[in-house]
Copies of this chain bind each other. A is one copy, B any other.
Amino acid sequence: MSDLLERLRGRGWRMTAQRRVVAEVLDGDHVHLTADEVHARAVTRLPEISRATVYNTLGEMVTLGEVIEVATDGRAKRYDPNAHRPHQHLVCGRCGAIRDVHPAGDPMADLPDTERFGFTISNVEVTYRGICPSCAATA
């Protein structure tokens, strides 16, 4: 069931009810929740869980590389548990819907050495922006 939870357990994490709940809320594909959304869902299962714990736990999962932090809109960051299959994001500028997408080719390879300015590049983030079909219909 919970791949995420299994991986975290395997890393020697001290397992607490709070961490379990956060991991369960994030489990699955195509999940892109904000920290507050994660908190809201966690509270339904564990009413006394605090905001700080949700932030801490999400931060730890990001550090461990089990969850990816996505800043698609300059508002709240979103947390994406699909960390082990490289992918990019497609965002609706009207309703904020997010889809995982898989562009062809390697964007990393598209940046010539002359354009790297001596940086050691570790990853590339691609965000496609547009309007989703249901928003386009109700334009």
Measured CB to CB, the residues of A under 8 A from B are: 69, 71, 73-74, 77, 90, 92-93, 99, 101-105, 107-108, 110-112, 115-133, 136
Q: How many copies does the complex hold?
A: 2
Q: Which residues of B contact A101 (CB under 8 A)?
A: 111, 115-117
Q: Which residues of B contact A117 (CB under 8 A)?
A: 90, 99, 101, 132-133
Q: Which residues of B contact A125 (CB under 8 A)?
A: 126-127, 129
Cα–Cα, bound, A92→B105 (Å): 24
- Pick the contact of A124: B102, B111, B127 (CB < 8 A): B127
A-B CB contact pairs (8 Å), 7 listed: A69-B74, A74-B74, A74-B77, A103-B111, A119-B132, A120-B136, A124-B127
